[in-house]
Amino acid sequence: MPTAPQTDEGWYVLHDFRSVDWDAWRDAPERARQRATDEGIAYLEDHEAVADADEGASAVFSVLGHKADLLVVHFRPTLDALSAAERRFEGTALAGFTEQTTSYVSVTEVSGYVSDDWFDGNKDDIDEGLRRYIEGKLKPDIPDDGYVSFYPMSKRRGEEYNWYDLSFDERAELMAGHGDTGREYAGKIKQVIASSVGFDDHEWGVTLFSDDPAHIKDIVYEMRFDEASSRYGEFGQFYVGRRFPPSDLGAYLDGQPVPTSEHESHHGHSDAAGHPHGESEGHDSHAHAHGDEGDHGHDDAAGHPHGGGEDDEESIRGELEELNIYAGKPHGEDVYATVLYSEADSEELFDEVNGLRKNFDHYGTHVKTAVYEANGRDRAAVVSIWETASAADTAAGFLSELPGIVERAGEESGFGTMGMFYTVKPDYREDFVEKFGTVGGVLADIDGHHDTDLMVNVEDENDMFIASQWRSKEDAMGFFRSDAFRDTVSWGRDVLADRPRHVFLA
């Protein structure tokens, strides 16, 4: 008899689909419509703030097509909390203008397909990166991405193809192949997969989030060709929608495009903080993983891409090239670096980064993540390099939760960090460090220079990263035009094992 994988449950999930009685809405007096709007906004804002529970998440989406008009998604620690959230909506005046066309109930889970270690022994002893990944699956955030797609699915139990007749190893192999397809969408798609076995008509509810609806179509289409789907997948109805802040409910009911903050030129107003999803200033959302098939997570306060505008960066690269200084991104022309600094013990920091790196390595867009220790200073830099800016964004969300993080590259300066990556020939390592000391003395006397550190990879002492922070682009370029830097570049051709790369990181 095939073995059922172990499971562990997290938060309960309700997808609450509502249709609006537009005839009743049009016929209602303005006072009644205003009351319904006000009470609807209050309900949605309270639940997005999770005022009704100790933890969880909620969001509202407009739904396209005839199947529904609104989707309210709730994650809560208990099924009872979901029930209360659903019933509280019925107490609003807005409920009188809506009908619940359908709903879906599920619970987030992690299974033995992901990790046997989670179910064996002390969970606190497992790899830190894996532990955070699993905790993110069990207690997911709702990403800020603009578009959502929801669909239920089951595994086929037919006479020819029966998922539940397969051995655990066969199922695990098929799931791994399915995940390989999903990883190609790292940074484009976030997902939450929740089990509905015994709770609803299908076995899982799948919610996909993206800032580009075409990515949702593409990933579902490509996965149809995976054997796990082509032979064993059965799907229910699909729903697609657009997230908007609760404060835009009135605009939505009036037929305006939402979120209104993305259409200010048409409407002349936005939400209170000017954000597309109604976040207040200082809102801090953390990146978590939501399943096995795509990249997961979204930006938090430290999770923005560490690259200036494309025009600014291309201008800098062009000027460096005119000075005969190679300005390519590290490891190639089409990768992106994110850098965070930490004052934690470098060994402790490396242990946690190593755990996250094992998770990063699951994604084809990951190039490199390493810890660099400052030479002669109690500071470390975590450098993570990816093939896409969005993947670097997502990684920054995870890395920002590492111990002792004090700043992101460029936070304290108007221009940011010029990162200089060098691989030194072992016989010249000490000469290189000594040369940096000389150049560092020159830098200290230059106007507009904030700080420069020589950082050494804790795993490879010949791999070095110089983080140089400046007040402005012109201040930094003044140094790169100097004779001192030209002499250093010329000298470096003899001592470096690889071509140096000078990269605008922030």
Q: Which residues belong to the active site? A: 151
Give, as one character, the DSSP assignment of residue 496.
B
Burial of 430 (0-12, 13-18, 19+ CB in 10 A): exposed
- Bridge partner list, 257: none
The position carrying tokens 């300066």 is 413
Q: Are the CB atoms for 329 and 337 separated by under 8 Å?
A: yes
Q: Provide the token pair at 296.
A: 């997961």
CA atoms within 13 A on the CB side of 167: 3
Q: Which residues contact 208 (CB under 8 A, 6 or more apart)?
A: 148, 149, 150, 189, 190, 191, 216, 219, 220, 294
* CB-CB neighbours of 4 under 10 Å: 10
Q: Are the CB atoms for 61 and 242 separated by under 8 Å?
A: yes
User: Could you give the CA distance from residue 28 to residue 167 in angstroms, rounded to a whole number?
Assistant: 59
Give, as one character, the DSSP assignment of residue 19.
E
Task: State yes or no: cis peptide before 276, omega within 30 of 0.
Answer: no
**C-alpha distances in angstroms, 57 versus 12, 285, 336?**
11, 11, 31
Residue 210 parent element (H or E): strand 204-210
Sign of CA dihedral 433, 438, 441, 445: negative
Strand, coil or helix: 184: coil
User: Could you give the CA distance from residue 289 to residue 201 in angstroms, rounded to a whole number?
Assistant: 26
Q: Are the CB atoms for 451 and 416 separated by under 8 Å?
A: no
